[in-house]
Each structure stands twice: as structure tokens, then as C-alpha cells.
Amino acid sequence: MVDFARLWDVLVVGGGNAALSAAITAAQAGASVIIAEHAPKAMRGGNSRHTRNLRALHPKPTDVLTESYLEEEYWDDLLRVTGGRTDEGLARMCIRASEHAPGFLRDCGVVFQPSLSGTLSLSRTNAFFLGGGKALVNALYRTAEKLGITILYDTEVQHIAIEDGFAREAIVSWRGFPERIRCKAIIASAGGFQANREWLREYWGDAADNFQIRGTPYAQGRVLKDMLANGVQEVGDATQFHAVANDARAPMEDGGLAMRLDCVPFSIVVNKDVERFYDEGEDVWPKRYAIWGRLIAQQRDQRAFAITDSQALHNYLPSVFPPMKADSIGELAGLLGLDAAKLEGVVAEYNAAVQPGTFHGNKLDDCRTEGLAIPKSHWARRIDQPPFYGHPLAPGITFTFLGVKVNERARVMMADGKPSGNIFASGEIMAGNILGQGYLAGFGMTIGTVFGRIAGEEASKLVRN
């Protein structure tokens, strides 16, 4: 039985990577720690259970990372995706600390894949978890249990009572029963609000109903909203989120990574009105995949269709749901519910614009179009080798960027500009400090681990005083 009368040193809200990194660090420093995770045990771990790797600085090759990846290059990469919308101080601090993130996770029992493998060719910048995020989450929970951390599943934190920047207790729903947890410090690691359609609707209207939530349905943003309403300073753009092109047939929630389609660079993409709307061959895919979710979210009914032929089929990963397949473009249009004549026209116009070039599947090549209003700058090959394939696309939302403002000690900033007395935050709930827009593959787990460790350390220091 849980002792709800007890005064805990640290309450950690959430049960993903950021929460567990914080809880483990605090417990290792001697604090008594309780974790409140909204999900039941089988679905624990939030978005973190769907992840695959983390981005880490390293001056020389390690057993899991090739070559080297230094601060300036890391920072440049971040600058490029965020277009400068980032807090340089926090970002550089996080980048530097990322060097020690894999080691910390390894000490917690996480196993990494040797650097040779990896389908995304990211093994220079990103360390891959053996078995992926769920295996990571399992290892972290196991370590937490060994450290004697109390873990409450099925427990939603509904309200944090804040007075003068100080939190004394949290109101929770524990397996459906109302309870309160008293504590000396709180670490909020409850993720974003991407699974809260009503909230998304405030910015996106009805379109939000067609967004697929790639990760956990428990990311309702309840703690975030509660904190913002109770004097915590907001950061980031509420309308911004990370989104990819998902298979339109994916489940609306928790579909995970396997639902994303990476056929876009090898296809042409049209919307329901059979119009192309963006350069499919703009840049190498891992760098550009994150813009497509947003692009599709802006189309009618949040739908798009990637059209390829048998020549392109083996250039991209197989999809969970088989593509529509037909012997002619007209027939394919029928299967996809598109205007056949129009699609034939678009494909013919595209084919006519394709210039001769040498195709290279995984780097920028010289296959491009000429004369189209919306060009295809790379990997442009004629779509003329039946059978033809069509993948229906929908936006898959990964996480939202609105969050709570923190300082470099992971302490939450109050609206009056002062740091909170005992509230800390780590992970997606504060990622907006660094990610004003855009996303760098593997950076979510880095932010969670780095700030989780800082929050855990600071919280335990605080309660020991």
C-alpha cells in the first residue's frame, strides 16, 4: 500500500525518460522519491517508449557512435532547424551535457546498439537503444525499483498547489481515487499536450480532429495547463509542434514510429485536389522529414497522397499498411479517391519536366525537374514503370512545443521572473525553451536525460538543506 500521509522528498510527475532520469538521479543522491505515472504499467513510458536513439556530443568515436560530433556542429545543426528560435545558453549547456547522457543511461541498464547498424544512417550523431525506447524505459524502471523509488501507475496528477512559487502538494487521481501527495520538491516531466485534441483545436480548429497522435495518449498537458494557470512562466509557440507524414491508416493514437512513411523524396505528393504543394526532393530525408507533417496538416482534410512506381519501391522502407497498387495512374487515382484525369495530367507534366541525372538514394543527387511551378529538386525520376503505388498520408503529431520556462538549473521560472522555490521541470514539458520550432532527430531524449539529471540533482540538493 502507498502511504499517502507521508511527506516525500521529491515527487516526480510523469513516467517517461525525463521523469525516470530525474527520479533515479534524485534517489541516487539520497532523496526519497515517488513517481506518479498516468498510464497503466503496460503502457508506461510516454513518448519515450516509442523512441529509438539520442543525439550525443562526442569528441572521438565510441563503441556506439562513429567519428566525432562536437559542440559547434551540434549547435549549427540546432540553429538550422530552429531558425534561431532557441535559448543559446540553455541549448549549449544541453549540448555539452549530452556527452554524458549515454553513459548515464548505460549505468541505468540501458543497452546501446553497436555503431555499425542503424537504418537511418545516423550512427555518427545518434546512439541507438538496443530494442528501442521500450527497452530503455524497462531498464530505467528496473533501476528505479532497485533504488527503492515508489512508482504509482494509473495515477494522474491533476493539480499542483503552488503558493509564492512554492509547491507543497499535488492532487492526484490514483486508480480513480482522489488522493494527495505531499512533498518537499516537485519535478514536472509530464510531456507535451499533443494528445489533447480540444487544446489543439484552439489553434487548428477542426483540422485537429484529423491529426494522428504518434505517441502516448496520456500526453494531455494537464499539468502544463495547471502550472501555466498558477503563475508559471510560459515558453515556446503554442501553435508549433513536431509532425511527420504518417500513414493515413495508422491508429489515431500510439501508432509509434512504424507508421511514418519515408517514401516522400522518391514520390510526388499531391493533396485531395490533386495538386502538388511542396518540393518533395528538397533535402536529405532525416533532415526534412519533420516538415511534412505540418505541410499535410495545412491541406484539405489533412490528407495527401504519395505516388511512386515500381522503380522507387525499394528506395524506401516497407510500410506497415501495403500501398495501393495499380497498373495505370488512372486506376490508382480511382483507388485513392482522386480525380483520374487530373492525376494523369499532374504525373505527365511532372514526367515531362524530369531532367536526366544520376540517381543516388541517400544523398542529394542531380535528378531534378525543370519548369514546374513547384520543383522537385532531387531524386526526380519519371514515374512511368507500372505497377504504380499510392500511399495515403496524414499528419502524425509527435509533440507540442509550448512549455514552462526553466533556468539552467532546471528550475521552473515564475511569471514574475523569479525561479520557483522547489519546482523543476525536464523533458518535453520544457523542450520549448530550446526548440522554438523545428526538430533535431534524437534531441528529445537528450533534453529529457540532461534536464532530468539536473532536476534530480537540484531537487535532492534542495531537500537535503
Partner 1 sequence: MSETEATIEVRRQMEICNACRYCEGYCAVFPAMTLRREFTTGDLTHLANLCHSCKGCYHACQYAPPHPFGINVPETFATIRAESYAEYAWPAPMGRVFERNGTLVTLAAFLSVTLVLLLTMALQDPAILYTAQTGTGAFFRVIPYWLMVGLASLSFGYALFAMGMGAVRYWRGTAPGAGQKPITVAPVAEAALDILTLRNLGGGGHGCNDLDDSFAQTRRWFHHAMFYGFMLCFAATTTGAFYHHFMGWKSPHAFLSLPVQLGSWGGALLCLGTAGLLWVKTVTDPGPVAKRLLGGEYAMLALLFLIGATGLLLLVIRHTGAMGVMLAIHLGLVLAFFLVMPYSKMVHGVYRGLALLRNAQEKRA
Ligand X SMILES: Cc1cc2nc3c(=O)[nH]c(=O)nc-3n(C[C@H](O)[C@H](O)[C@H](O)COP(=O)(O)OP(=O)(O)OC[C@H]3O[C@@H](n4cnc5c(N)ncnc54)[C@H](O)[C@@H]3O)c2cc1C
Give contact residues for partner 1 (rule: CB under 8 A): 42-43, 49-50, 52, 109, 111, 113-114, 117, 119, 128, 130-135, 138-139, 142, 251, 254, 256-258, 314, 317-320, 322
- The x, y and z cell numbers of residue 138, run together, are 524497462
Distance, CA of 427 to CA of 84 (rounded, Å): 20
In the complex with ligand X, the residue whose CB is nearer, 297 or 380, is: 297
Distance, CA of 369 to CA of 353 (rounded, Å): 5
- The residue written with cell numbers 524506401 in the block is 316
In the complex with partner 1, the residue whose CB is nearer, 135 or 348, is: 135
In the complex with ligand X, the residue whose CB is nearer, 254 or 309, is: 254
Selected range binding ligand X among 23-31, 183-191, 266-274, 382-390, rule: CB under 6 A = 183-191
CA distances from 443 to 16, 86, 91, 125, 308 (A): 15, 13, 11, 10, 31
CB atoms within 10 A of CB 456: 31
Query: How many residues interact with ligand X (rule CB under 6 A)?
Result: 44
CA dihedral sign of residues 156, 395, 128, 283: negative
- The x, y and z cell numbers of residue 399, run together, are 509533440
Q: Map 166-207 to HEC letters.
A: EEEEEEEEECCEEEEEEEEEEEECCCCCCCCHHHHHHHHHHH
Selected range binding ligand X among 63-71, 98-106, 368-376, 436-444, rule: CB under 6 A = 436-444
CA 75-69-362 angle, to 5 degrees, is: 95
Does the protein bind ligand X through residue 19 (CB under 6 A)? yes
Does the protein bind ligand X through residue 218 (CB under 6 A)? yes
x-or-dash string of contact with ligand X, 20-49, rule CB under 6 A? ----------------xxxx-----xxxx-
Does the protein bind ligand X through residue 54 (CB under 6 A)? yes
State the binding partner of 17 from ligand X, partner 1, none, CB within 5 to 8 A by kind.
Answer: ligand X
Does the protein bind ligand X through residue 241 (CB under 6 A)? no
Strands 268-271 and 212-213, by their bridges, are unpaired
Q: Map 375-438 to HEC letters.
A: CCCCCCCCCCCCCEEEEEEEEEEEEECCEECECCCCEEEECCCCEEEEEEECCHHHHCCCCCCC
In the complex with ligand X, the residue whose CB is nearer, 323 or 444, is: 444
Does the protein bind ligand X through residue 191 (CB under 6 A)? yes
State the binding partner of 37 from ligand X, partner 1, none, CB within 5 to 8 A by kind.
Answer: ligand X
Does the protein bind ligand X through residue 53 (CB under 6 A)? yes
Residues 299-338 that bind ligand X (CB under 6 A): none
Strand, coil or helix: what is 302?
helix
Smallest gap from Cβ 190 to ligand X, in A, equals 4
- Extract the runs of DSSP E, i.e. beta strands, from 40-149: 53-55, 126-128
Smallest gap from Cβ 237 to partner 1, in A, equals 29
In the complex with ligand X, the residue whose CB is nearer, 98 or 369, is: 98
Does the protein bind ligand X through residue 219 (CB under 6 A)? yes
Among 33, 90, 149, 157, which residue interacts with ligand X (rule: CB under 6 A)? 157
Strands 388-400 and 241-247, by their bridges, are antiparallel
Smallest gap from Cβ 461 to ligand X, in A, equals 22
Q: How many H helices and E strands in the chain?
A: 12, 18
Return residues touching ligand X (CB under 6 A).
Answer: 13-19, 36-39, 45-48, 50-54, 156-157, 189-191, 214-216, 218-220, 222-223, 256-257, 398-399, 427-428, 442-445, 448
